[in-house]
Each structure stands twice: as C-alpha cells, then as structure tokens.
Amino acid sequence: MSMKYTNEHEWIRVEGDVGTIGITQYAQEQLGDVVFVEVPAVGRTVAKGESVAVVESVKAASDIYAPVSGEVVEANAALADTPGDVNAEPTGKGWFFKVKLSDKSELDGLMDEAAYDAFVKSLG
C-alpha cells in the first residue's frame, strides 16, 4: 500500500500487518545533518503517540512517536553507524523501525500523500 503520514512529519508504509516508519523528506531537510538516531528495542510494545525513537541533528534532539500501536518487530540498527542515511534516503535506507500493527484502523486517521503535501505547503 502507499504511504501514510502524520502531522509530526513521519511516514508509515504498511505491507501486510507490518508498518515501516521513518521521517519525511521535509523533516530531514528542515532538521539538517542527522548525527544520531536512537531506535526502539525489538519486542517493545508501543502505543500510538508514544515517544519511541530519537533523531538528533547537529542542532537539536527530536522525539519520534509511534504513528500506530503494536509491537516493534525490527529496528534499523545500521543508523547507529550511518545516521546520514536519514538525510540521504529518508523513505529508503533511512527508515527507523517496523511495527506489527495491533489495530489497522488507526491508519485511517493518518494523512495520505496529497493531504500531507498540502499540510507541508500550509507551513510556508
């Protein structure tokens, strides 16, 4: 399926009942050079809206929230050594973690690409 987006500038791409989560192109551009990423432990149960990861640019640390509830089934350990992947390929190699969704209806509250693009435009 296609990507969904949150107003916290995260994306989620769901295949089957597993969603892959990262930050958007807009977010990485605005953050600037990412120098540290902390991803959640595999097996952790997360609730929608819970702070589960951290992305740090040279200037600032930001929380990343779980866009959906479920269990973390994989985390991108490579980001520890190559945090710049988040800048280079925010929706590719720069993914953060994967969650096995406990409630797929939570996806309904997220934005599609057109809605997210309009949201970013509205930020000026």
Partner 1 sequence: MIASDNATLTETLLTDPAAGPLKRTPLYELHRELGARIVPFAGYEMPVQYPTGILVEHAQTRTAAGLFDVSHMGQVRLTAKPGQSAAKALETLVPGDIAGLQPGQQRYTQFTNEAGGILDDLMVTSTGDHLLLVINAACKDADLAHIQKHLSATCEIEPMFARGLLALQGPQASQALARLAPSVATMKFMTGAYVVIDGAECYVTRSGYTGGDGYEISTPAEATEAIARKLLAQPEVKPIGLGARDSLRLEAGLCLYGHDIDTTTTPVEAGLLWSIGKERRVQGGFPGAAVVQKQIAEGAPRKRVGILPEGKAIAREGAEIAIAGKGVGKVTSGGFAPTLGRAVAMGYVERAHAANGTKVDLLVRGKPVPAEIVPMPFVKHAYYRG
What residues make contact with partner 1 under the rule CB under 8 A? 7-10, 23, 27, 30-33, 35-36, 38, 50-51, 54-65, 80, 87
Distance of closest approach, residue 92 Cβ to partner 1, in angstroms: 19
Cβ-based nearer residue to partner 1, 38 or 74: 38
Quick one: 16 or 61, whose CB is closer to partner 1? 61
* Least distance in angstroms from the C-beta of 80 to partner 1: 6
SS3 104: helix
Quote the least distance from Cβ 32 to partner 1, whole Å.
5
Residue with tokens 């930001």: 62
Q: Which is nearer to partner 1, 1 or 42 (CB)?
A: 42
Helix (H, G, I), strand (E, B) or coil at 86: helix
Both tokens of residue 88?
């280079």
Q: Which is nearer to partner 1, 8 or 74 (CB)?
A: 8
d(CA 117, CA 106) in angstroms, rounded, equals 20
With 0-12 CB in 10 A as exposed, 13-18 as middle and 19+ as buried, what is 59?
A: exposed
Adjacent-strand bridge partners of 46: 70
